[in-house]
Structure 1
Amino acid sequence: MNYPIKLLTFLFVSVFFVGGCALQKNEKVEVGLLLHALDRERWEKDRDFLEEKVSELGGTVIVKIAENNADTQLKQAKELLANGVDVLVVVPVDQFAAASIVEEAHKNDIKVISYDRLIKNCKLDYYVSTDNVEIGDLQASYLTQIKPTGNYALIGGALNDNNSQLLYLGQRNVLQPLVERGDINIIYNEFTNDWSEEEGYANAKKLLNGNQNVDAIISANDAIARGVIRALEEKDKEGVLVAGMDADLPNLQLIVAGKQTCTIYKPYEKMAAATAELAVKLAKSGEHENTFQTVSNGAKLVPTVFFNGMIVNKENLKLTVISEGYQTEEEVYK
């Protein structure tokens, strides 16, 4: 699968949106949160942070879980809209299918915020996420600093998630010059069906059964990385560098144990806070005035709020996820 190596330039524009009917001052804001699933530790934290922040702003969150079924998620969106929610926040099951959710919301004069996964090919209102191209860059840059030559494997995220392609772009931005110099060989490069440990395990088994020597494996997230590490342990492969993303507690413990090299921490609480503030302002006034970064979703330049991820390794655990309050020192070093 071929993707352009250079990231599309992000534009900066001043955006002023007006739409929908403003709430009366005494009305309570209802935010509909459509989650693809609670299949990872991080999504539970995102949900909890968002509920807490909206509550602090005087609103409530109604949560629907789609269990990774796009049809179910569309049905849940229609239910929330019929029940009169004031704004939708969506973590899409499928980047393309979720365009129907945006269309349904707009029929009801309701705005949609896409959270950490971009909804493609529709008139999406807002997008809040981390810069996933930068995160892919961080993963590859960190491993190539440790191992500037050798055999690399890339095990990507789910094909139905736009973030998978963005991570890949960032990784290849770093790796391609080294490949062209002959310093690095990419011996395995596959996307997965979902961001799961089993997918990581199956892909790593396929890689290792090929009897190729591998020096580093960049996993799209920590669940995939756990599967990779399980496969490496079964083959008694030591010293292979493994990168992940999400700062899941089991993976932080694997970093402490020396089995995973690094992960990426996304500032989930800050992302949730920005989303809550945006959602409540839109619900109360029907408008939001700000200067936004924009990113193309194939149909429009979507006003976007981006946050930066950070590398987490054995040396900086206390200065990152622990000092941020995302995980406790007791649990990480358990």
Structure 2
Amino acid sequence: MAIVSIATALMLAACGGTGAGGGAATSAGATGSAAAADTLVGVAMPTQTSERWIADGNAVKEGLEKAGYKVDLQYANDDIPTQTQQIDAMITAGAKLLIIAAIDGTALTSQLETAASKGIKVIAYDRLIRDSENVDFYVSFDNYKVGVAQATALLYGLGVTDKDGKATGTATKGQKVELFAGSLDDNNAHFFWNGAIDTLKPYITDGTIVVGSGQDTIEQAATLRWLQETAQKRMEDLLTSTYGGKGTGLKGVLSPYDGISRGIITALQGVGMGPSIKEGLPVVTGQDAEIASVKLIADGVQQSTIFKDTRKLAAQAVTAAQDFLAGKTPEPNNTTDYDNGKKVVPSYLLEVDTVYADTIQAMLIDSGYWTADEVKSGVAK
């Protein structure tokens, strides 16, 4: 993936969310010291099966190393015991700070208790860690707004609203849709779902759209571990049980993540729908701007994706880490919404964008996130 310099991203993050009493520029000046060079930071990421998490891990590691720290970056391949063991090992190795993107947001209580007993600060990265008082800071995107954006994209694709969510007043009534959610053990999945459902509810209530299967709760729509294969199997089952095996009448599918989207699209095309939206494929949303899905959007197959610029998220995590390691407190921009069951975790939230075929150039290529060749091939280089 073509990624701009982490130093540039750090400057962007510093403009929006510097730590109290300092910020990225001030902290960076101190991190060239011998003390910083002897400081180990543990970075725990959930999996390498998603391009997104590989990019996050590499960007966080690069930013921390440029700031002068030693970094232990580990991926757990979506296995909870592996992640807990990796975090235990980081603590044993003397890490002074942990940045954790949890597989299961409820499974790390013991590790965080140990970290707190040793004075190790913990930054939850994009996925809120639940049921622990020992989460010191949270960096993420505004995940409720992600859900709103996904639902708005779906409604736009169905002609119910414009791109900004304003009702057109000319939409066909009774359009059938299906809903997919993320993994229930990921706190973000609930924010995505709530934002989407709050946005869709008025149009479900007035009959503009109808959930054909009747599966309209997050428990029914959930996709364990966000797996593409799991989503494909559920979509295949829905096509058989509700749409006569051919998808007759299905107009759109709310998908919270690009991997899930590709599973859904495979199932839809497998029964002869499409192959593109112009040729009758239902509108399918997404998230994370994964290159395989960006190509599908460019080709008119997937309708949209939510772009979460992970370069800025990684830079914000580095900024918060620098503040903690300098004895300062990072400055949050949200202190009310992210209750993990034990405390409201001070958070820094970044904004997101919706990518359609006509905005790939401006949002993804011109910004250096992907190159034109990558978009054309669907493969990261």
TM-score (norm 1): 0.90
Structure 2 unaligned blocks of 5 or more: 1-18, 22-29, 161-172, 216-220, 244-248, 275-279
Residue 105 of structure 2 aligns to a residue in which SS? coil
Q: How far apart are residue 289 of structure 1 and its match? A: 4.8
Distance in 1 between residues matched to 2:330 and 2:264, nearest whole Å: 45
Alignment of 1:10-29 (within 5 A): 25-27=33-35, 28=37, 29=39
Q: Indicate the percent of aligned positions where both proteins have the same amino acid.
A: 30
CA offset digits 1:124-181 (Å, max 9, x no partner): 1111111111011001112212312411111111121111111110110111011111
Q: How far apart are residue 56 of structure 1 and its match? A: 1.8
Alignment of 1:120-269 (within 5 A): 120-123=130-133, 124-147=135-158, 148=160, 149=173, 150-188=175-213, 189=215, 190-212=221-243, 213-238=249-274, 239=280, 240-269=282-311
CA contact (8 A) 1:195 1:224 kept: yes
Which is richer in strand? 1
Q: How far apart are residue 291 of structure 1 and its match? A: 4.4
1:110 paired residue number: 120
CA offset digits 1:46-82 (Å, max 9, x no partner): 0111111112211122112222222222221121111
Distance in 2 between residues matched to 1:313 and 1:289, nearest whole Å: 35
CA offset digits 1:208-237 (Å, max 9, x no partner): 112422111011200010011111111111
Distance in 1 between residues matched to 2:286 and 2:53, nearest whole Å: 16
1:4 paired residue number: none
CA contact (8 A) 1:157 1:164 kept: yes
CA contact (8 A) 2:123 2:139 kept: yes
The answer to which of 22-31 and 314-323 deviates more is: 22-31
CA offset digits 1:181-224 (Å, max 9, x no partner): 11111224410112121012111101111242211101120001
CA-atom RMSD in angstroms: 1.9
Distance in 2 between residues matched to 1:244 and 1:34, nearest whole Å: 25
CA offset digits 1:88-145 (Å, max 9, x no partner): 0001111111233221210111010000101011111111111111011001112212
AA partner of residue 182 (structure 1)? G
AA partner of residue 368 (structure 2)? G
AA partner of residue 302 (structure 2)? Q
The answer to which of 63-72 and 309-318 deviates more is: 63-72
Distance in 2 between residues matched to 1:139 and 1:72, nearest whole Å: 32
Distance in 2 between residues matched to 1:291 and 1:211, nearest whole Å: 46
CA contact (8 A) 1:70 1:98 kept: no
| Closer/same/farther in 2, CA of residues 133 and 160 from structure 1, 3 Å limit | same
Distance in 1 between residues matched to 2:347 and 2:210, nearest whole Å: 35
| Closer/same/farther in 2, CA of residues 328 and 289 from structure 1, 3 Å limit | closer
Which is richer in helix? 2
AA partner of residue 191 (structure 1)? A
The answer to which of 203-212 and 238-247 deviates more is: 203-212
**Residue from 79, 83, 90 that aligns with 2:89:** 79
